Amino acid sequence: MQLTLGPNLYFWPRQQVLDFYADVASWPVADVYLGEVVCSRRHEVKTADWLALGTELAQAGKRVIYSTQALLESASDLMGLKRLVEAGGLIEVNDLGAVEIARKAGIPFVAGATLNIYNGPTLDWFAAQGATRWVPPLEASRETVTAILAEKTCAIETEVFGHGHLPLAFSARCFTARHYTLKKDDCQFKCLEHPDGMLVDTREGQHFLRINGIQTQSAACHSLYDDLPQLAAAGIGYLRISPQATHCRAVVDAFAARLTDASAGSDLAALHPQGLVNGYWHGKAGIALQPNE
Amino acid sequence: MPRKPQLICPAGSLPALKAAVDRGADAVYVGFKNATNARNFAGLNFTDQQLAEGIAYAHRHGREILIAINTYAQAGRVAEWRKSVDRAAEIGADAVILADFGLLSYAYQTHPQLRRHLSVQGSATNFAAINMAHECFGVSRAVLPRVLTLPQVEYVIKNTPVEIEVFGFGSLCVMAEGRCILSSYATGQSPNTHGVCSPAGFVRWEPEGQRMRTRLNDILIDQFEAGEPAGYPTLCKGRFEVEGDTYYALEEPTSLNTLSILPELMKIGVSAIKVEGRQRSPAYTAEVTATLRAAIDAAGDAHYSVKPAWQDALTKVSEGHQQTLGAYSRPWR
């Protein structure tokens, strides 16, 4: 099983992004996903910059996959995607419209978690359109993923979302702008002030959700660190770590160490003050934490 | 003059179905009593016998019955979803409303004569996605998620041969349908997997003196002071704290109401207007159907205006007694 670094879901200043990926070049990850997947208003890093970053990372030995926006609504959203596809290379599609563009262009793609692949025949259909890898829905349990893999007839790689704040929902509305009572089209790019999103707590102080523009995430960090030994056995080829503003390198190193030595231990909880969860993988509510057996 | 859009109304029971037909729905959408249907609530939905009676009733009045099989087929249980499509074909439904692409493929190959609509849960928000469903599965109509503005809806319509159906009234999802798993994050059950959102089995109403707390799987969704009407704890419509402010962080409890823009929806070529609410009562279906029927029939008139009586009727059945144009006007844009 190999590690991948998922697309950055947050909005960071340009220099922070460039510094981050300069560092990533030396990390123990096989694949790096680049690109903006959340909001079409985020332009600190432009398409040409992403492509240049991709070239550099490829020279450093990484496989680069360009991730595309999760909610394609407007004409310009579709055009932006077409440019990325025409530039060549591997892409991850996170919207059905992107599947159409990829298959018409005849390029292979990674079928993202929001394409809603819950069974074997559906996975087979996406593979027939050109998917060479897929990411199961984030709410899929180990049992579900195993059942889908048993049911499929296509040959395809499987990548599981292994560590990060879970992107749970997408909206037309921007919740960050709403918090500041700003209009979405005049958001003053407030997301830049929240490199890991904004916490949404219950009125009892429970950390519940996390606002990230039009995306709603889990407040806690979903982590399959404790489940690593069983993951490879389940036929999972790739494990995704989702970028975060702090401790990302430490997280990647901890996973890499445990992949080479199953007895390696690391206190990831100390790096995640809003807590760790793994309920989805164990067939429970996503917010649950199944203790290590 | 633009063609009048069809009025598509919800029914969770035979009395609701008959009420919708009686009050002027062009088509009624319903679901089976199982997990294939995104309103899989206890006491709701149709047995085969009830459905046969409902279809006969609708057809006798020249109306259509659409069967929503709009959750995602779960691995290892795909046969249940396929069987539901087979039943819909056998029982004489006018169309099936599907979300799962594998299931659409099955329906297209097995029952080519059975019309296929792409469910809102299919989450197709752009013409590229819709045209793919048309080309691959012969989908003849798509229901748009409630995230697009009017100009965006128009842009989709101009670029697809597929009929476009939009929501005209009912509870509002602020998230893109089919791309929200908040419910399973809190409870383990979501619309995509179980056909439920914020399921009732996880709800706890917790009175404390004059105050009412509402919980979902123990998570505090909202709390209401004396005199405040307590609403169902749909988790995206609770009050939470963000950086010291306590407010409806995602969305207020509110209903979508498009009465004021019906002429625009007609002008841009919307084929059908859908009413949300299969989980609501027959009285709700009757009230909303009659109101929307009258409004759609009047919307082609150059002097169209929203009648206060229509507005009153819809306000009474609105969530939180509040209404919005939602994404169509994008007040937040």
Q: Are A175 and B249 a contacting pair at CB < 8 A?
A: yes
In degrees rounded to 5, what are phi and psi of residue A89?
A: 90, 175
Give domain B6-172+254-328's CATH architecture.
Alpha-Beta Barrel (3.20)
For residue B211, give how far its alpha carbon lies from the nearest alpha carbon of chain A (Å): 14
Task: Choose among A120, A121, A138: nearest Cβ to B105.
Answer: A121
Tokens encoding A146:
């195993």
Per-residue pLDDT reduced to its tens digit, A17-47: 999 999 999 999 999 999 999 998 998 998 8
Element (H, E) at B60: helix B48-60
Task: Choose among B72, B131, B240: nearest Cβ to A201.
Answer: B240
Task: Choose among B105, B182, B223: nearest Cβ to A168.
Answer: B182
Extents of the domains making up chain A: 2-282
β-partners of residue A4 are A31, A240
Q: Is A217 on the interface with B (CB under 8 A)?
A: no
Q: What is the pLDDT of residue B127?
A: 94
Tell me how crowded residue A207 is: count the other CB atoms within 10 A of its CB: 16
Checking if the pLDDT of A197 tops 90, the result is yes
Per-residue pLDDT reduced to its tens digit, B251-277: 888 888 999 999 999 999 999 999 999
Q: What is the pLDDT of residue A229?
A: 83
Q: Any idea which fold A2-282 has?
A: TIM Barrel (3.20.20)
Per-residue pLDDT reduced to its tens digit, A88-129: 678 999 999 999 988 988 889 999 999 999 999 999 999 999
CA–CA separation, A85 and A106 (whole Å): 10
Q: What is the pLDDT of residue B44?
A: 87
Q: Is A216 on the interface with B (CB under 8 A)?
A: yes
Checking if the pLDDT of B330 tops 70, the result is no
Q: Is A119 on the interface with B (CB under 8 A)?
A: yes
Q: Is A98 on the interface with B (CB under 8 A)?
A: yes
For residue B36, give how far its alpha carbon lies from the nearest alpha carbon of chain A (Å): 13
Q: What is the pLDDT of residue B328?
A: 75
CA–CA separation, B93 and B224 (whole Å): 44
Length of chain B: 333
Extents of the domains making up chain B: 6-172+254-328, 182-247
Tokens encoding B68:
């929503």
Residue in A with minimal Cα distance to B181: A168
Q: What is the pLDDT of residue A105?
A: 85
Kindly report the average pLDDT of chain B as a whole number: 93
Q: Are A99 and B132 a contacting pair at CB < 8 A?
A: yes
As for the ipTM of the complex, it is 0.96
Residue in A with minimal Cα distance to B219: A202
3-class secondary structure, B14: helix
Residue in A with minimal Cα distance to B106: A121
Q: Which residues of B touch A77 (CB under 8 A)?
A: 126
Which band of pLDDT confidence, cut at 50, 70 and 90, is reported for residue A69? Answer: confident
Task: Choose among A114, A147, A150: nearest Cβ to B179.
Answer: A114
Which band of pLDDT confidence, cut at 50, 70 and 90, is reported for residue A233? Answer: confident
B235, B332, B333, best to mutate vs chain A, most A CBs in 10 Å: B332
Task: Choose among B148, B178, B217: nearest Cβ to A116.
Answer: B178
Query: H-type helices in B138-199, by residue range?
Result: 150-158, 182-187, 191-194
- What is the DSSP secondary structure assignment for residue B46, as one 8-state letter? B
Residue in B with minimal Cα distance to A284: B188
Which band of pLDDT confidence, cut at 50, 70 and 90, is reported for residue B147? Answer: confident
CA–CA separation, A75 and A28 (whole Å): 38
Q: What is the pLDDT of residue B321?
A: 65
Residue in B with minimal Cα distance to A142: B75
